Chains A and B, each alone.
Chain A
Amino acid sequence: MAQFLSSRRLLISWGVFALLVGIFSAYDATRPRPTDGALWLLGGDEIRIVGIEPGGPAAEAGLEVGDRIEGIGRQAIRDPRHAAQLLQSQTVGGTVPYLVRRDGAVREMQVRLSSTRIADVRTYVVYCGIGLIYLLAGAYIYWRSPNLVAARLFYVLCTLFLIYFCSASERSVFYYWSDLFIRNMGTLASLLVPPLFFHFFLVFPRRRSLLDRYPWAIPALYVVPLGFYLDFSWNQFFGSRGAAISATQQMTLGMFFTAGLASLVTTYVGSRDPDLRQRVKFLTLGTVLGTLPFLVFNIALAKLMGQTQVSLLGAVPMVLVPVSFGYSIARYRLMDIEVFIRRSLIYAILTGLTVGAYLVLVVLVGNTVLNISGQNSQLVAIVATLLIAAAFAPARERIQGFLERRFFREKHDLQRALQDLSRAIPHTLQRETLVELVRDRVTRLLHPRDFVFLPGNGGQLHFPVNGEDVPLPYFSRMLERRGSAATPEAVQSELMRLARRNDASRDAFRDEVLLFQERNLELAVPAFAGERLVGAIALGTKRSEVAYDGAEIDMLQIVAGQMGVQLENTRLYDEAVERKRLEEELGMAREIQQRLLPHDVPSIAGFDLAAVNLPSAQVSGDYFDFVSFGDCQGMVVADVSGKGLPASLLASNLQASIRALASSSISPGSVLRIVNDTLHASTDEARFATAFLLCLHPETGRLTYSNAGHNPPILRRANGEILWLDAGATPLGAFPNMDYDEDVITLEPGDCLVLFTDGITEAENDQGEFFGDEGLQDLVERCCEETAQGLLQRLRDAVDEHTGPVGAADDMTVLVVRMLSKKAEPQEGSLA
């Protein structure tokens, strides 16, 4: 039902179909065809009478329910269809011999066939007229407010009333295909009208809260009538009692009407809102006055007690329902049907009155002219008629103008609200504030049940679900293509388009749509900045249960347009602020890092030292340091994860910790263990640092070290042997309670030790190739005879050569320690 109601094409097709059914029914009801007034089962193998029209030909001939008709017009009957063909070959008024079996005996009975043409054409015309009024009212309301749920329901209700009234004639036969069709349509309509009537008054003028508690209630309403129709359909073909709505079923349907009325009346009586009471007052009165006679005369007396002569008394007042409904809706601010009232109902009444007046005038003036002129000329009559017609148009205009002034009322001023919002938006430079502003105004204006802002990023919207943004690529694409609001119809149309193209993205799109459906969002209005989709606002159904009308959607699109521009402005503003912040942060980071680095390389007898830190564009957490381990010289090379200020701050902490601990003359492994625990406790797991810490006894050349996940330094012995110093454990701060192994080596004269960070070995060329450990080893082997500074310079050159014009992407830190010959004098260390 919901899907049906949401498809405009389906609804319009249904309306056209209902009108065609009505026209065909009217045509068929006035067509004379022979009938015997007996009702048969259509699907059996024999003709068993299941109903007799009171006073009809079969009744007069003495046929009874339960009789089997074996022959018609001296022809043996093969099946019900053959029987129908035989009857159709007869003539109205003719007497046809029937061969009838009753209680095992057969008898011939003479049946004088009557006509299927309804006897009381005048009453039938009244019925059709009522049906037509319903259709016109429903169609026009729907046309003016196609997005309103209540309008759609009312429209469908009206079309069903049309079918109901047009097929309401008591047809005496049921075996012509046209009868079969019309009776089924009429029955379906008469079964669906009561629950739809109830349904309508459950959502109008105010949606009942029980529908939220029991969402199955609406579909459940239609289960019973569908069950009745199943019973009807079964019985018309195969059942035991023929096609008819039983008394119990009639009473049940009557209860639906009563419940609908009760819902309306309780809304009226129970409402504390005087405005609502005022608006519902006339509608309630009209509906009650229209429906109660229908319940009493049509259902209780005509259907249940068989007094069909009073059915007109129940049908005529039903006109009050669409009239009172239309009148009340005209004053119901959420439905834009003033124009309808002005141009349809009032216009129709006005036209009816003026046409009546016109005809009276034509007769009077025509007679007067003829009397005066004394000529019996058609020309005189025609001229008189044209003169009156000329006077008719301005007269109607004047009356219409008066009615327009009387009836046309100012509706809610959307335009004013829009102006207020337009003034406020440009002053809002924060996105959250902007979204809140729009949320507040739109919610106050339209009362949606939900408001969701869908942020856009790179032309793609995101749906916030449990704090996470779910991307909506297909929905975004649809909005970009449409360039306007997405209504349920548009979504349905997109789904059908994708289905027609057998597009694999249909399922993905449907998944995205489900996100909206789960939150009962009915409308999505895109916000564009130029051509770029920068966000959207999605609105839930309105608390009034009426759908968003055209004017509201237009207003929302204007708001969203302004919002889009402002969103772009806030984005640019935010970007500028962020850029400035980053620049400041970068400066601070550089400053911190520079502070970390020692100003001087210590001078150690027998050793030649050199160190360098080459920062990249983004400041990182590399550093080297010389610390004092009591009687030995400590050296550190560390690399803190991350970039920028946080990395620099962590590096600063690390340096402070190592320096503090080193002063207590404990071993490198112990220092690293304590620093690891401290870092782990004070930072998150994503923050860690690699470090290499050594302690060198200058006199003995004995070197104790521990490696905390750092690139193992390379030691090239004077004899050409290569060692990678990797004793230790995981990076600092990654895991708690780690023990850091130590290793002790003794440097010999001519040995060359190079400590470095990953910026050296992971320096990439334009082919994406790393400089690598091999490159480093090769260089150290080649240049180990040079001074520490010389080696350092060669290393820098080699890395520069490797990276080419691209340059290094990461910081590079290198510390070179060369042991001189014992006879040689100590050299002044250098900082590159």
Chain B
Amino acid sequence: MNTRIVTGVLVLAVAAVAVVGASRWFAPEEREVTCSSEKAYELYREGLDQMGRFRFDRAETALVEATELEPGFAVAQIHLATVYRNMGNMAKADSLVNLAEENLDDESELEKLWVERVHAIYHDEHEKGMELQKKMVELHPEHPWVLRLRAEEARRQQDYREAIALYDRILEQDPEAIEIHNLKGYMYISLGEYDEAVHALQRYAYYAPDNANPHDSLGEAYLYQGQYEEAIREFVKALEIEPTFIWSAVHLAQALTITGQFERAEETLQEMKPIFVERGQESWMSLEQLRIDFVAERWSEMIQQAEAALPFDDDLKHEIEYAIFVHYARTAGYLELGEMDNAYAARADLEALIEEISEKQTVYGIWDSAIARNQAYLESRFGRAEGNPERGIEDLRKVVAKSRLSPHELVMYRRELAEALLAAERPDEAAEVATAVLEKIPTAPTMNLLAAKAYYRMGEREEALGYLRTHLEVMRFADAGHPQVEEATQLLQQMVPRS
């Protein structure tokens, strides 16, 4: 081949690569909204970024400036309205939404639909809002705004996989939509894919490190994953950022409870008590306190607190979980203390409450599965107390199998199931129950202890020892005298006799 041709082709190829590469490098950015001012657009993007980071004050500053620079910037006005709504300034939010609708002029069709939809929602015209949403989906199914609406719909339909796929498509188009990582994280938690949830929420925490919510979300993911130390670190960080963020206090108390740090858990709740009280959400704190007592097997204190909570108002709408747990705690407490009469009486109260709840089916229907789980639990506990451990086993198996809850949330029920199976001299099945959880959460301390007990009963000492080690490792910061740690230590002594 003629070398001049080869050389020419090579030169052309080099030029082509350089041109293509450089064109990608120097390609102008496309604007996603109708906006004539460069500065206003930059401020709009800054406002969105700050919104994604939950920094509504900074978002407000940027968006106010953007709308001042370009008074007809309807999309920015809608976002500013959302900011005000999050800040609790509904009046300003409403006026901005109205203003945005008046400003619809040169905006694109999608922008108009979107503004009109928000306007309809603000004015409680939900049907109109839904119609506009449908239209948006029909006309622009792949636009990030529409993808977000579609993802929310998928989430409502519990199609988490679809929601994640839609969120990914949003991120492909707009990697700076950082709040999407938060939504994705919860979708993964719902699917039980905790590693992915952690990754998504790590991204979210990275982008919005100065906000409590991302750290709280990430802590939750760690909690579900069984990484308790990381979870505690994130909850602590969230509380450092926002000391009044009560949900992190609750979650921190839960994480500390799981790892046996009852005193610290109680301290956390106590420190937050004024805020719980101030916000009228004291029952959440009490619920967590009861759970601490339950795990710590401080039966008397638990009964005392439960009794103090009674009686409840007729309207249990906001305290139903607490009310159920109070009755459950009373029953379980008396049972553990061997006060069977009181236990039967407490159980009767519980069933009366359940009946009451069942009558208000429309209001409290969502608690059906929780009630069923707790009844199965008590049936088993009573069976064990009455020397008939087989009694609640099948019911418990059924409710656990049916439940959509995560392994983390079902630990209490599986523990009871395993205990019942051990009491029924079925250690192999008990081991199966425990290891099923440990496959998902290898560090779950209670399940490790139960697995150790079961395998020990089965004569598989090495296996048992492994589980026991994990249990003690997780519980290394546990309060002195923690019942499970005590039990584990005794078991260890049996397994490894002192020479």
Decide: A42 and B25 in contact? CB cutoff 8 A.
Answer: yes
Decide if A602 is an interface residue (CB 8 Å cutoff): no
Decide: A77 and B14 in contact? CB cutoff 8 A.
Answer: no
Decide if A43 is an interface residue (CB 8 Å cutoff): yes
Q: How far is the CB of A86 from chain B (nearest CB, A)?
A: 11
Decide: A234 and B17 in contact? CB cutoff 8 A.
Answer: yes
Give 1 or 0 for each of A93-126: 1 = CB within 8 Å of chain B CB: 0000101000011111000000000000000000
Tell me which residues across on chain B come within 8 A of A70, comparing CB atoms.
175, 203
With A71-B203, A99-B203, A237-B20 already in contact, the answer to whether A43 and B25 are too (CB < 8 A) is yes
Closest to A215 in B: B3
Tell me which residues across on chain A come within 8 A of B7, comparing CB atoms.
219, 222-223, 226
Decide: B10 and A226 in contact? CB cutoff 8 A.
Answer: yes
Which chain A residues numbered 449 to 477 have a C-beta less than 8 Å away from chain B? Answer: none
Interface size on A, residues (CB 8 A): 36
Decide: B21 and A42 in contact? CB cutoff 8 A.
Answer: yes
Closest to B2 in A: A216
Q: Bound state CA distance, A752 and B146, in angstroms? A: 119
Tell me which residues across on chain A come within 8 A of B4, comparing CB atoms.
219
Q: Bound state CA distance, A809 and B176, in angstroms? A: 101
Tell me which residues across on chain B come within 8 A of A234, comparing CB atoms.
17
Decide if A75 is an interface residue (CB 8 Å cutoff): yes
Decide: B3 and A220 in contact? CB cutoff 8 A.
Answer: yes
Decide if A76 is an interface residue (CB 8 Å cutoff): yes
Decide: A238 and B2 in contact? CB cutoff 8 A.
Answer: no
Closest to B5 in A: A219
Decide: B24 and A43 in contact? CB cutoff 8 A.
Answer: yes
Q: Bound state CA distance, A177 and B25, in angstroms? A: 9
Decide: B207 and A75 in contact? CB cutoff 8 A.
Answer: yes
Q: Bound state CA distance, A97 and B26, in angstroms? A: 26
Decide if B130 is an interface residue (CB 8 Å cutoff): no
Which chain A residues numbered 397 to 451 have a C-beta less than 8 Å away from chain B? Answer: none
Decide if A78 is an interface residue (CB 8 Å cutoff): yes
Decide if B206 is an interface residue (CB 8 Å cutoff): yes
Q: Bound state CA distance, A80 and B3, in angstroms? A: 37
Closest to B206 in A: A99
Decide: B17 and A237 in contact? CB cutoff 8 A.
Answer: yes
Closest to A101 in B: B199
Decide: B203 and A43 in contact? CB cutoff 8 A.
Answer: no
Give 1 or 0 for each of B89-101: 1 = CB within 8 Å of chain A CB: 0000000000000
Decide: A233 and B175 in contact? CB cutoff 8 A.
Answer: no
Tell me which residues across on chain A come within 8 A of B3, comparing CB atoms.
216, 219-220, 223
Q: How far is the CB of B15 from chain A (nearest CB, A)?
A: 9
Decide if B178 is an interface residue (CB 8 Å cutoff): yes
Decide if B337 is an interface residue (CB 8 Å cutoff): no
Closest to B200 in A: A106
With A229-B14, A230-B10 already in contact, the answer to whether A237 and B207 are too (CB < 8 A) is no
Q: How far is the CB of A75 from chain B (nearest CB, A)?
A: 7
Decide if A74 is an interface residue (CB 8 Å cutoff): yes
Which chain B residues numbered 8 to 41 have a C-beta less than 8 Å away from chain A? Answer: 10-11, 13-14, 17-18, 20-21, 24-26
With A75-B176, A219-B7 already in contact, the answer to whether A230 and B17 are too (CB < 8 A) is yes
Which chain B residues numbered 257 to 316 have a C-beta less than 8 Å away from chain A? Answer: none
Decide if A8 is an interface residue (CB 8 Å cutoff): no
CB contact between B24 and one of A99, A222, A229, A237 (< 8 Å): that residue = A237
Decide: B206 and A238 in contact? CB cutoff 8 A.
Answer: no
Decide: B2 and A106 in contact? CB cutoff 8 A.
Answer: no
Closest to A175 in B: B25
Tell me which residues across on chain A come within 8 A of B24, comparing CB atoms.
42-43, 79, 237
Decide if A81 is an interface residue (CB 8 Å cutoff): yes
Tell me which residues across on chain A come within 8 A of B2, comparing CB atoms.
216
Q: Bound state CA distance, A43 and B18, in angstroms? A: 10
Decide if A227 is an interface residue (CB 8 Å cutoff): yes
Tell me which residues across on chain B come within 8 A of A236, comparing CB atoms.
21
Q: How far is the CB of B256 from chain A (nearest CB, A)?
A: 24
With A76-B176, A223-B3, A223-B6 already in contact, the answer to whether A233 and B21 are too (CB < 8 A) is yes
Closest to A225 in B: B10
Closest to B49 in A: A75
Decide if B483 is an interface residue (CB 8 Å cutoff): no
Decide: A223 and B21 in contact? CB cutoff 8 A.
Answer: no
Tell me which residues across on chain B come within 8 A of A237, comparing CB atoms.
17, 20-21, 24-25
Q: How far is the CB of A218 from chain B (nearest CB, A)?
A: 8
Tell me which residues across on chain B come within 8 A of A80, comparing CB atoms.
25
Decide: B14 and A71 in contact? CB cutoff 8 A.
Answer: no
Q: How far is the CB of B193 from chain A (nearest CB, A)?
A: 12
Q: How far is the CB of A541 from chain B (nearest CB, A)?
A: 19
Decide if B209 is an interface residue (CB 8 Å cutoff): yes
CB contact between A233 and one of B6, B14, B25, B195 (< 8 Å): that residue = B14
Q: Bound state CA distance, A108 and B25, in angstroms? A: 26
Decide if B202 is an interface residue (CB 8 Å cutoff): yes
Which chain B residues numbered 192 to 230 have a C-beta less than 8 Å away from chain A? Answer: 195, 199, 202-203, 206-209
Q: How far is the CB of B58 from chain A (nearest CB, A)?
A: 13
Q: Bound state CA distance, A105 and B199, in angstroms? A: 6
Q: Bound state CA distance, A78 and B27, in angstroms? A: 13
Decide: B25 and A81 in contact? CB cutoff 8 A.
Answer: yes
Decide: A76 and B175 in contact? CB cutoff 8 A.
Answer: yes
CB contact between A227 and one of B10, B17, B21, B207 (< 8 Å): that residue = B10
Q: Bound state CA distance, A219 and B202, in angstroms? A: 56
CB contact between A43 and one of B11, B20, B49, B202 (< 8 Å): that residue = B20
Decide: A108 and B175 in contact? CB cutoff 8 A.
Answer: no
Decide: A97 and B206 in contact? CB cutoff 8 A.
Answer: yes
Decide: B13 and A230 in contact? CB cutoff 8 A.
Answer: yes
Decide: B14 and A108 in contact? CB cutoff 8 A.
Answer: no
Scoring B2, B6, B14 by chain A CB atoms within 10 A of each residue's CB, the highest score goes to B14
Scoring B2, B178, B203, B209 by chain A CB atoms within 10 A of each residue's CB, the highest score goes to B203
Q: Bound state CA distance, A79 and B176, in angstroms? A: 11
Q: Bound state CA distance, A105 and B200, in angstroms? A: 9
Tell me which residues across on chain A come within 8 A of B13, comparing CB atoms.
230
Which chain A residues numbered 769 to 811 have a C-beta less than 8 Å away from chain B? Answer: none
Decide: B21 and A238 in contact? CB cutoff 8 A.
Answer: yes
Q: How far is the CB of A757 from chain B (nearest CB, A)?
A: 64
With A71-B207, A222-B7, A226-B10 already in contact, the answer to whether A78 and B176 are too (CB < 8 A) is yes
With A77-B175, A216-B3, A230-B14 already in contact, the answer to whether A106 and B20 are too (CB < 8 A) is no
Q: Bound state CA distance, A497 and B159, in angstroms? A: 73
Q: Bound state CA distance, A233 and B22, in angstroms? A: 11
Tell me which residues across on chain B come within 8 A of A219, comparing CB atoms.
3-4, 6-7
Q: Bound state CA distance, A75 and B21, in angstroms? A: 24
Tell me which residues across on chain B come within 8 A of A99, comparing CB atoms.
202-203, 206-207
Q: Bound state CA distance, A398 and B11, in angstroms? A: 53
Closest to B177 in A: A76
With A42-B25, A216-B3, A223-B10 already in contact, the answer to whether A106 and B175 are too (CB < 8 A) is no
Tell me which residues across on chain A come within 8 A of B195, comparing CB atoms.
105
Tell me which residues across on chain A come within 8 A of B178, comparing CB atoms.
76
With A71-B207, A80-B25 already in contact, the answer to whether A107 and B202 are too (CB < 8 A) is yes
Which chain B residues numbered 154 to 199 have a C-beta less than 8 Å away from chain A? Answer: 175-176, 178, 195, 199
Decide: A233 and B203 in contact? CB cutoff 8 A.
Answer: no
Tell me which residues across on chain B come within 8 A of A222, comparing CB atoms.
7
Tell me which residues across on chain B come within 8 A of A107, comparing CB atoms.
202
Tell me which residues across on chain A come within 8 A of B207, comparing CB atoms.
71, 74-76, 99
Q: How far is the CB of A249 from chain B (nearest CB, A)?
A: 14
Tell me which residues across on chain B come within 8 A of A81, comparing CB atoms.
25-26
Tell me which residues across on chain B come within 8 A of A226, comparing CB atoms.
7, 10-11, 14
Q: How far is the CB of A156 from chain B (nearest CB, A)?
A: 16
Q: How far is the CB of A48 from chain B (nearest CB, A)?
A: 15
Closest to B23 in A: A43
Tell me which residues across on chain B come within 8 A of A238, comparing CB atoms.
21
A-B contact pairs, 12 of them (CB 8 A): A71-B206, A81-B25, A99-B202, A99-B206, A105-B199, A106-B199, A223-B7, A226-B10, A226-B11, A233-B14, A236-B21, A237-B17
Known: A216-B2, A226-B7, A233-B21. 5 other contacts (CB 8 A): A71-B203, A106-B203, A223-B3, A237-B24, A238-B21
Q: Which 3 A-B pairs have the closest CB atoms?
A: A237-B21, A226-B10, A219-B3
